[in-house]
């Protein structure tokens, strides 16, 4: 029962997802072990002292309980944006059998729903950085993508189904993907004494036709297309007017005006990447060199975040240095002078 605390949590989460794995005890007798059994007989004849006899030995070899288990780690719909690439669903694949040898498992998938991802691939988590990282995690190449999974839930592998969302996908579309793990060993037709036969012992899974004891197991997770919307609120304030030594300042020729653009990611689902603001400076205003600030940090016109075009008309392009997180606002400010 040493795994009770971990497995209770996993069982609860998987139950919420409609998957009910039942892990065998790690102490299950190992496949291939020979078990011998003899019996002792005691008897006497005509009042003689007790005599003993030993039976012949009955031996058998423990068979291989073949039991792949798939469970989803992505327990809520995974939001994707139309045209986005390298989107992923996460699963664990466990060898819950009784063989000391790693179980070869072939990966495949079944799709359902209006959202059909393209360029489907499988990756194995390498443990460097949590979550899918194309540059770190290990591709599982096809056409028969195969992984080798050691016995015991503690050795479960994290597997990602990775794909691209079609450009024409629309908000609200969903795609359900079942990860199917098929044991790449043949089941014995009959029991052979003295041989460790392969015996399928898997549960029924979520994919079509995945019944119990068929040598495979499956579980599903969901992609959902969402919209990510950014809003931009622009305002201006007078910094100085060249006449008054303190506020109030006035908007007269020679005054310095600060523009502030507040960019907000109104989505509660996904961050926005490569966010760029372009502003064409109106006539009668002159851009103040090196005046750009992003979230309070100054950036020179020659920096990677600012591109200045002298014009006419003058123009600045400002690129956020980081993703714009969900439900987050970042302000951009710059200054101009009234001619």
pLDDT in tens, 164-184: 999 999 999 999 999 999 999
**What does the pLDDT read at residue 185?**
97
pLDDT (tens digit per residue) in 17-60: 444 455 655 678 999 999 999 999 998 888 888 889 999 999 99
**Radius of gyration of the chain from its Cα atoms, rounded to whole angstroms:** 33
**What does the pLDDT read at residue 266?**
87
CA distance linking residue 183 with residue 24, whole number of Å: 17
**What does the pLDDT read at residue 13?**
40
CA distance linking residue 265 with residue 288, whole number of Å: 28
pLDDT (tens digit per residue) in 81-119: 999 999 999 999 999 999 999 999 999 999 999 999 999
Closest CA to 286 of 245, 237, 238, 334: 334
| Contacts of 247 by beta carbon, 8 Å cutoff, 6+ apart | none
| Contacts of 54 by beta carbon, 8 Å cutoff, 6+ apart | 38, 39, 40, 41
**What does the pLDDT read at residue 4?**
34
pLDDT (tens digit per residue) in 234-265: 999 999 999 999 999 999 999 999 999 999 99
CA distance linking residue 326 with residue 167, whole number of Å: 22
CA 89 to chain centre: 5
Residue whose structure tokens are 């009042």:
47
- List, in order of start, the domains of the chain with CATH numbers: 8-24+66-225 (2.60.40.10), 230-338 (2.60.40.740)
pTM value > 0.75: no
CA distance linking residue 188 with residue 280, whole number of Å: 75
pLDDT (tens digit per residue) in 65-80: 999 999 999 999 999 9
**What does the pLDDT read at residue 25?**
54
DSSP 8-state assignment for residue 159: E
What percentage of the chain exceeds 70 in pLDDT? Answer: 92
By CB neighbour count within 10 A (0-12 exposed, 13-18 middle, 19+ buried), where does 15 fall?
A: exposed
14: confidence class by pLDDT, cuts 50, 70, 90: very low
pLDDT (tens digit per residue) in 111-137: 999 999 999 999 999 999 999 999 999
Burial 63-77 (b: 16+ CB within 10 A, else e): bbbbbbbbbbbbeeb
pLDDT averaged over the chain?
Answer: 91
Burial 169-183 (b: 16+ CB within 10 A, else e): beeebebbbbbbbbb
């Amino acid at each position: 029962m040493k795994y009770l605390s971990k497995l209770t949590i996993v069982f609860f989460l998987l139950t919420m997802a409609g998957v009910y794995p039942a892990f065998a005890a790690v102490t299950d007798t190992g496949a291939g072990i020979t078990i011998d059994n003899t019996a002792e007989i005691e008897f006497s004849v005509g009042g003689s002292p007790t005599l003993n006899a030993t039976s012949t030995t009955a031996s058998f070899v423990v068979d291989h309980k073949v039991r792949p288990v798939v469970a989803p780690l992505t327990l809520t719909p995974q939001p994707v944006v139309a045209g986005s690439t390298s989107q992923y669903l996460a699963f664990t694949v466990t060898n819950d059998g009784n063989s000391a040898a790693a179980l070869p498992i072939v990966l495949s998938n079944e799709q359902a729903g209006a959202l059909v991802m393209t360029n489907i691939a499988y990756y194995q988590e390498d443990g460097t950085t949590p979550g899918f990282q194309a540059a770190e995690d290990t591709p599982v190449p096809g056409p028969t993508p195969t992984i080798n999974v050691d016995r015991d839930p503690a050795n479960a592998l994290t597997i990602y189904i990775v794909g691209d969302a079609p450009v024409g996908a629309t908000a609200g579309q969903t795609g359900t993907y079942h990860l199917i793990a098929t044991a790449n060993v043949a089941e014995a037709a009959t029991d052979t004494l003295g041989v460790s036969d392969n015996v399928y012992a898997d549960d029924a899974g979520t994919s079509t036709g995945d019944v119990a004891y068929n040598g495979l197991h499956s579980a599903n997770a969901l992609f959902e297309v969402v919209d990510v919307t950014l809003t931009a609120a622009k305002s201006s304030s007078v910094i100085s007017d060249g006449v008054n030594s303190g506020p109030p300042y006035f908007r007269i020729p020679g005054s310095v005006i600060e523009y502030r653009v507040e960019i907000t990611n109104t989505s509660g689902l996904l961050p926005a990447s490569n966010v760029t603001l372009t502003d064409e400076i109106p006539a009668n205003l002159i851009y103040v060199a090196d005046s750009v600030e992003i979230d309070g940090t100054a950036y020179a016109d020659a920096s990677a975040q600012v591109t200045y075009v002298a014009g006419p008309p003058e123009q600045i392009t400002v690129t956020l240095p980081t993703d714009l997180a969900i439900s987050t606002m970042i302000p951009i400010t710059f200054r101009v002078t009234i001619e």
